[in-house]
Amino acid sequence: MNKAFFKYILALLLFGSNGIVASRIDLNSYEIVLLRTLIGSLLLIAIFFLSRGKLTFWEHKKDFAFLAVSGIAMGTSWMFLYEAYAQIGVSIASLCYYCGPVIVMILSPLLFKEKLTSTKIIGFLAVLIGIVLVNGCGAVSVNRFGLLCGLASAVMYAFMVIFNKKAAAITGLENSALQLLIAFAAVAVFVGFKQGFIIDIPTESVLPILVLGLLNTGIGCYLYFSSIGKIPVQTVAICGYLEPLSAVLFSVVFLSETLLPMQVVGTVLIIGGAICGECIQVPIEKTNEGKHKS
């Protein structure tokens, strides 16, 4: 239990540092995502086969189709997110991105016949107010294209989670490895049409690319999926919000990004509102092992 909890917290901190590592890479957003998904998926596939995992996706064609859509959404979401990192900074981009789970929460009554309780509604309203405070207070200095990219990443995150949830028959590390591989394929198609596959990687960017692909993506996903089944579901849900919180704190400490007082209030509302909505649904729902982080 303690070992699994430590692995889970470490995975969340790795995910929260994605923007910090990406800021050290002198490439455009879709090139970063292309290399990240390639390196990460290769590592996860290697871990899957070294652990003697058994492929079952071909037995569940409908679920695999849902997983394919989810993988495409993940690749698209990350491209928007990394563009938002470059345009508006890691802290605000991360908060925009983490509105994705709240979108899923609001749509769940329509898509999954889940009950929308008053607490969930209150949580959603808190997040909505938080978004206004975080983005509205920075409207003078933050460009609207960056904000749009951040919110678009949240919408695509919602698509990723929704379709992954429908692929219930494909779980665990197989789910993660396949989805990351599909995300790579989707990003590769986009990059191929846009500029071709010749990428000039500066020497100083090689190490952060390897860290982002191998450590933050590959090892991070492995730690996440190997731990969530061994700790209480409510702990998984509540502690999961350490990821966006750590992303904001890391950006302040390592990138010297600043948040206005009202943006700090907005940060508390976004994370607090999301936790409020999550805690109500945790006891009655089964953890979806295919749910992915950033």
pLDDT in tens, 189-204: 999 999 888 899 999 9
Q: What is the mean pLDDT of residues 211-215?
A: 96
The overall average pLDDT reported for the chain is: 84
pLDDT of 215: 95
For residues 53 and 162, give the distance between their C-alpha atoms in angstroms, rounded to a whole number. 25
pLDDT of 289: 45
* For residue 138, pLDDT beyond 60: no
pLDDT of 142: 60
* For residue 283, pLDDT beyond 50: no
The CA-atom distances, in angstroms, between 57 and each of 41, 175, 206, 222 are 16, 9, 34, 19
pLDDT of 125: 81
- pLDDT band with cut points at 50, 70 and 90 for residue 167: confident
Report yes or no on whether pTM surpasses 0.85: no
For residues 52 and 67, give the distance between their C-alpha atoms in angstroms, rounded to a whole number. 22
Instruction: Name the 3-class secondary structure at 98.
Output: coil
* Between 140 and 264, the higher pLDDT residue: 264
pLDDT of 66: 94
